Amino acid sequence: MNELFGTLSDGTQVHRWTLERAGVRVRILSYGGIVQSVEVPDREGRTGDVVLGFADLDGYLTHPEPYLGALIGRYANRIAGGRFPLDGVTYALEPNNAPNSLHGGPRGFDKRVWDVTPDGAHGVRLSRVSPHGEEGFPGRLEVSATYTLDADGALRIAYEAVTDAPTVVNLTNHSYFNLGGSGNAGGHELRLAASRCTPVDADLIPAGDPADVTGTRFDFRRARKVGAGYDHNFVLDGGVTEAAREVAELYDPASGRVLTVATTEPGLQLYTADHLSAPFAPGDGIALETQHFPDSPNRPDFPSTVLRPGGVFRSETVYGFTTG
């Protein structure tokens, strides 16, 4: 189902698409590729919304900073100093998380209106062209994200991109999950298939080599309460894969809802939303951002985010919903 959701100040219309299957209802906006809501049942069969979102377009325009539910690009996470080298040229980006570039810059993919078309009976395909030089990134990038509800109600997001010049690409979805539907999510239990994480400096830029999580607060290889104080990249076991494999499980003991995350990506940024502000409160949601590592364009030792003409960027993440 497609309906008008709102209108931007320049007259551009924003539409909302609703997908329903297997007891799951997902609403997606053409503005920012935003996942506005995900409604799933709890262990008693009661349906609740498990992602943070706003009821109207003005909420997203007034409070852009949390990136609620948004499609993030051209480069998710941080690039140190807003600069990176590629083929002997240094590209300067506009710092929007001083001194770094964050989530593609001040007008990243999360603030663009995407073209949306149906994709089968249970999916929609969002697409746009990011012109050469947009937010300082080189190359004309043709990019798409296809949102599909699988037969079991899992939300699958498949990304693709091609370029006419060498560039860097790192895409993710920035939903904040609260499996209880409200309140603080710090009591959720998390399991991650990650034996290492990347230590960061004061500006949240990776510093040094990935570190073993054994004996630290970053060890989620066995499920435990998430708590607070995380905005860190975890190095997922297995690295980049062709098919999505399960890398995370989030469980809310009160509602019984379980979220599983499968991905082809090598990293997952765990953010416990400690800086959320009104109308939300710190800790109201947990972001599990599947992606390549932060600052990879400045770290040749990290998995590459470079995309060249003739190549195709592909990435897939699947969010599954059950109860336990």
Give the angle subtended at the CA of 8 by the CAs of 159 and 140, to the nearest 5°: 35
* CA-based nearest residue to 158, from 169, 171, 168: 171
Single out the residue of 167, 169, 175, 28 nearest to residue 108, CA to CA.
169
Half-sphere exposure of residue 74: CA atoms within 13 angstroms, side-chain side? 28
Number of other CB atoms surrounding residue 221 within 10 Å: 14
DSSP string for 147-161 = EEE-TTS-EEEEEEE
Amino acid at 280: F
Of 103, 122, 135, 174, the active-site residue reads: 174
* Spatial distance between the Cα atoms of 295 and 177, rounded to a whole number of angstroms: 25
Spatial neighbors of 65 by CB under 8 A, at least 6 apart, are none
For 14, list phi and psi in degrees, rounded to 5: -115, 130
The distance of Cα 67 from the centroid of its chain, to the nearest Å, equals 9
Instruction: Choose the catalytic residue: 135, 249, 265, 289.
Output: 289
Take residue 76 and report the two structure tokens written for it. 């998710």
| d(C-alpha 60, C-alpha 50), whole Å | 18
Tell me, yes or no, if 174 is annotated catalytic: yes
Judge whether 265 and 236 are in contact, CB under 8 Å: yes
Q: Given CA atoms 19, 14, 35, 265 in this order, what sign does their dihedral have?
A: positive
Alpha-carbon distance of 10 to 2, in angstroms, equals: 21
Question: Count of alpha carbons within 13 Å of 13, Cβ hemisphere only?
Answer: 7
Instruction: Reply yes or no on whether 160 is catalytic.
Output: no
Structure tokens at 109: 């993919």
Catalytic residue numbers, as ranges:
174, 289
